[in-house]
Structure 1
Amino acid sequence: MRVLDFDGTVYKGASLLDFYLFTIRMDPRVLSFLPVALRYALLYRMGRVTLNQMDHAMRTIGHRYLLLLHSKPGFDLEDAVSRFWDGHMDRIMDWYSPREDDVVLTGSFDVVVGEACRRLGIGTCVGSRLTPDHLGVEYLNFGPAKPGHFSQVCGKEARVDAFFTDSESDRPMIDMAEHAYLVSRGRVTKIK
């Protein structure tokens, strides 16, 4: 099976950041979360905070962000996600030709990326997950956590014939795959 990271690999950019920016137009109060989220993301990339510290911070920020969005009268997350993808499906990279049995494995929220997968005809999306009430983060699906979440959804025996990513932080999945490809600016290069 083919397993693909989403942001920067299939999607031009970061879908979660784009969705966040989209929600600012719906409720400008959510802008207050951007500095803290960017700070933690940058510190994590620089190796100054651990994955556990970033996980805790992003869960806290995510919960507050969702509470604020849901406090706006008439807000509907599924409707917001649908309207977001109405204007962002053109950001799917030209190199990518979806297959029904593809698996998208992403750090972005499955409720957001799952809608793009549905529109592309992809049957399985494994992403960071929100709690059923949409007001909290159940788990984040970043680098070292991806193989475990992949195995939970696809089975421990699932074989990764090809893995596509834009980041070395996906090394655990690269190691797991028979073949691996790096996607940079829409160009695909075999790295394993």
Structure 2
Amino acid sequence: MNVYDFDNTILRGDSTARFFAYCLLRTPRMWLDAPGQILNGLLFLAKARKKQVFKQRMLRFLRWIDLQSVLPAFWEKNLSRVKPFYGTAHREDDVVISASPEFLIRPACAHLGISHVMGSPVDPRSGIFRGPNCHGEEKVRRFREAFPQGKIDAFYSDSHSDDPLARLAQRAILVKGDKLLPWNDA
């Protein structure tokens, strides 16, 4: 099986940031929370706020949107951002493991024919995390939980934060823009 990160790997850009911006342009009520969101971002950048706390605070906007109508419209507009390499690399047993909220990436993955999807467990109505952010070693734990005997033929990611998962693969590929590079050469 091949295993992929999602943001900046299969998809050009960060799906959570793009979804936030998409909703911000269509949900005026979100602007009322802009000062708090700016402070949240500054605290995260200053390393005074952990990533999961930052993400959970940012995702509070979900309480103001109709996810059933907004999410399909978002992906209709953003599926064109799937990188060309994925069309030729795709296999039926592909797995996506991402730090993005699972509810957010699952529809895009379904459209691409990917049925094995693991993302951060976030309540789609409140933005509250129901478990750990799916990042770093947590990706390995989640993979082993779902596929105890699973062998990774190829692993694709844009970031060395995924080194723990890359070490499990027979072949690891670093995705930089549209370039596919050997993991250890980049």
The TM-score range, normalised by the shorter chain, is: 0.7 to 0.9
Aligned length: 177
The Cα of 1:141 is off from its aligned counterpart by 0.9
The Cα of 1:143 is off from its aligned counterpart by 1.8
The alignment status of 1:57 with 2:54, answered yes or no, reads yes
Specify whether residues 66 and 170 from structure 1 end up closer, same or farther in structure 2 by C-alpha distance, changes over 3 A only. same
Specify whether residues 39 and 172 from structure 1 end up closer, same or farther in structure 2 by C-alpha distance, changes over 3 A only. farther
In structure 1, the residue matched to 2:5 is 5
Specify whether residues 130 and 182 from structure 1 end up closer, same or farther in structure 2 by C-alpha distance, changes over 3 A only. same
The Cα of 1:134 is off from its aligned counterpart by 2.6
Taking the TM superposition and a 5 Å limit, the aligned residue runs for 1:94-133 are 94-97=84-87, 98-131=90-123
> d(CA) in 2 for partners of 1:114 and 1:170?
20
> d(CA) in 1 for partners of 2:152 and 2:141?
13
Q: Structure 2 counterpart of 1:59, which letter? A: Q
Would you say the 8 A contact 2:37–2:58 is kept in 1? no
Specify the SS of the correspondent of 1:96.
helix
TM superposition score normalised by structure 1 = 0.83
In structure 1, the residue matched to 2:62 is 66
Long gaps (5+) in structure 1: 70-74
Identity of aligned residues (%): 28
Specify the SS of the correspondent of 1:188.
strand
In structure 2, the residue matched to 1:72 is none
Would you say the 8 A contact 1:3–1:162 is kept in 2? yes
The Cα of 1:49 is off from its aligned counterpart by 5.3
Long gaps (5+) in structure 2: none
The Cα of 1:36 is off from its aligned counterpart by 3.9
The Cα of 1:21 is off from its aligned counterpart by 0.5
Would you say the 8 A contact 1:7–1:14 is kept in 2? yes
Would you say the 8 A contact 2:56–2:129 is kept in 1? yes
In structure 2, the residue matched to 1:19 is 19
Specify the SS of the correspondent of 1:7.
coil
TM superposition score normalised by structure 2 = 0.85
Q: Deviations over 1:133-172 (max 9, x none)?
A: 63222132122211112222x2222111111000011111
